[in-house]
Structure 1
């Protein structure tokens, strides 16, 4: 059942367990979001096309097409709607695969509904936040925070919302070493209890997309810097 999108935008929840879906829906509605729920992967892609959600909460273990494949198909179609994976499996491999596919965040069951809502809010705040007045440049990269676009020379690069925010955060602080814990707090909006491996996976994906133009340097035992 679809709900009229509220001021904070519509969130598509794809979850096959009705009790969990209902808890997520109630907490999102209480936070001011519109919500549409689908209970299978087979109907999720059509719902994305119909509702054009601001964000997607996507269970990994869905009947039919699973959450990983849904995310893969969205990114292959150049749809970069923020995706937050939810899974019952607390497996590092699953988490890494999800992030490598272009997911913006990842939580495991059981989870705090308030934390999940906070993570949705954090992603959307970054996407819709107040941009810098002028593009930032470093080496051959230009980061336009007004339009959330990245260029290497004349070539535009496609990044997820989180990859963009990581790059923008580092490029605003050229030469400064930033710890993984700082990145989790400032970019994701939550503490290091979530695990700094998330940062490393996103940095690896970001470097792969930037290629030789990547300004990101690893400072062993500390974190990262852009130079």
Structure 2
């Protein structure tokens, strides 16, 4: 699991990198708001540990931007600002937790693991979540706000595969191997056919500003959480 740490204090950043790495996480550390947004886009981290006071902006705005871009993993603020209104603002921006500096590393890890397990529990309960998009695997129903759509079994399997790595392309060949390799007579173009079916089912979601299935030339297909325009 990749954890993004956004912390402009190099000593704290280094301590968190060492500690979280020792706990088994892959850690990316950045010190600026613009670097945080770029790293989140590039690495799609499972969770974010975020300082509020950054040299080029506020962690509050970073948190809001991450949620608007579809980041659904836990976001934990780590800040010296300890007023009630500061905590309320952080949680109101979409964060899952707010830890005040100075802090105990063991408590940070415990809270981080608890939030990650909660997310994992949702998925194991038959619900897959990517941004505001929810797939109920038991009923093969897609939910986005008030919008819902029923999928066929194979459409649901395809969407679940794309939701597992949102904003990252999945190669056409990998999709075929995962979903159709054991079916005799199927050819690679069946992937394109079912991507078309899925785009049709998700069209109301895309028109409402939700995710879409995009083609990444030469790399495959991905669930794009940031592009509300009609699917390409």
- Give unpaired runs (5+ residues) of structure 1: 1-8, 135-141, 157-227
CA-CA distance at 1:64 after TM superposition: 0.2
TM-score under structure 1 normalisation?
0.55
- 1:56 aligns with 48
TM-score under structure 2 normalisation?
0.54
> What does the per-residue CA deviation read over 1:60-81, in whole Å, with 9 as the maximum and x for residues that have no partner?
0111022011011112223223
Asked if structure 1 preserves the Cα contact closer than 8 Å seen for 2:91 and 2:97, the reply is yes
Distance, in Å, in 1 between the alignment partners of 2:137 and 2:54 is 35
Whether 1:77 aligns to 2:69 is yes
CA-CA distance at 1:143 after TM superposition: 9.8
Distance, in Å, in 1 between the alignment partners of 2:17 and 2:67 is 25
Against the structure 1 CA distance between its residues 114 and 68, is the aligned structure 2 distance closer, same or farther, given a 3 Å change threshold?
same
Whether 1:40 aligns to 2:35 is no
- 2:110 aligns with 118
Distance, in Å, in 1 between the alignment partners of 2:40 and 2:52 is 16
* Partner SS state of residue 75, structure 1: helix
> What does the per-residue CA deviation read over 1:33-70, in whole Å, with 9 as the maximum and x for residues that have no partner?
01010011121100101111110000001110220110
Against the structure 1 CA distance between its residues 132 and 91, is the aligned structure 2 distance closer, same or farther, given a 3 Å change threshold?
same
Whether 1:10 aligns to 2:2 is yes
Q: How many residues align?
A: 142
> What does the per-residue CA deviation read over 1:116-143, in whole Å, with 9 as the maximum and x for residues that have no partner?
1111111111111273369xxxxxxx99
Distance, in Å, in 2 between the alignment partners of 1:143 and 1:46 is 27
Asked if structure 1 preserves the Cα contact closer than 8 Å seen for 2:73 and 2:119, the reply is no
Distance, in Å, in 1 between the alignment partners of 2:5 and 2:124 is 28
Asked if structure 2 preserves the Cα contact closer than 8 Å seen for 1:27 and 1:114, the reply is no
Rg bigger for which structure?
A: 2
CA-CA distance at 1:153 after TM superposition: 6.2
Distance, in Å, in 2 between the alignment partners of 1:52 and 1:133 is 22
Poorly superposed stretches of 4+, deviation over 2 Å: 76-81, 129-134, 142-147, 149-156
- Give unpaired runs (5+ residues) of structure 2: 128-133, 150-232
* Partner SS state of residue 54, structure 2: coil
Distance, in Å, in 2 between the alignment partners of 1:155 and 1:94 is 36
Taking the TM superposition and a 5 Å limit, the aligned residue runs for 1:51-200 are 51-129=43-121, 131-132=124-125, 144=136, 154-155=147-148
Asked if structure 2 preserves the Cα contact closer than 8 Å seen for 1:86 and 1:109, the reply is yes
Aligned counterpart in structure 2 of residue 29 of structure 1, from 2, 7, 21? 21
